[in-house]
Amino acid sequence: MLLTVEDVMVRDVVAISCDENVKNAASTMIGFEIGSLVVLEADRVVGMITERDILRRVVTDGRDPEETTVREVMSQPAIVVGPALPLDKAVALMFEYKIKKLPVIEREEEGRKLVGIVTLTDIARLHPQLIQTLKELFDMNQEQPPRRMQKVIDYYIV
């Protein structure tokens, strides 16, 4: 049976408006005990903001988190997938862009409606063989996985 993104995605996604300030974004992450938020503009996925974005683009630059908007520091463009995408294709995208999370959207007449999120950890829990495939992709390209991805690879591959 071919697994798809829809089979492993989480449907309850915590998102934030691109016009919110970074302090609110950080507070939301802390409140939900998560490390990133999907960023929306008029209900359309436009980016992601992560703890790393806040550290690199706000804290180390000495910017005021109450005056800095999410739009100014989010990671963009958003790399998104549809629910019907085969899971191995999602892993290939994660490898290509060196990311651990993919917002899941359904295309609609007015835009791209957020319906879920799939993470490398979700995939690893359900289908550890795909994590082995990810490791092999890095090995074939003679690349080191980013440390944030290496942790998942090390945990799920014995």
* Confidence (pLDDT) at 38: 97
pTM, whole model, 2 decimals? 0.81
With tokens 């290509």, the residue in question is 96
Question: Residue 83 belongs to a domain with what CATH number?
Answer: 3.10.580.10
| Domain limits for position 107 | 5-156
Distances (CA, A) of 125 to 10, 12, 32: 13, 18, 21
pLDDT grade for 155, boundaries at 50, 70 and 90: low
- Residue range 10-21, pLDDT digits in tens: 999 999 999 999
DSSP 77-115: S---B-TTSBHHHHHHHHHHHT-SEEEEEEEETTEEEEE
Q: Measure the CA angle with vertex 37, ends 31 and 38; round to 5°.
A: 145
Domain count, the chain: 1
C-alpha dihedral sign at 85, 89, 91, 95: negative
Residue 72 host element (H or E): helix 70-73
- Residue range 53-91, pLDDT digits in tens: 999 999 999 999 999 999 999 999 999 999 999 998 998
pLDDT grade for 138, boundaries at 50, 70 and 90: confident
Between 112 and 67, the higher pLDDT residue = 67
Cis amide prior to 77 (ω within 30 degrees) = yes
Q: What would the two tokens of residue 4 be?
A: 């798809």
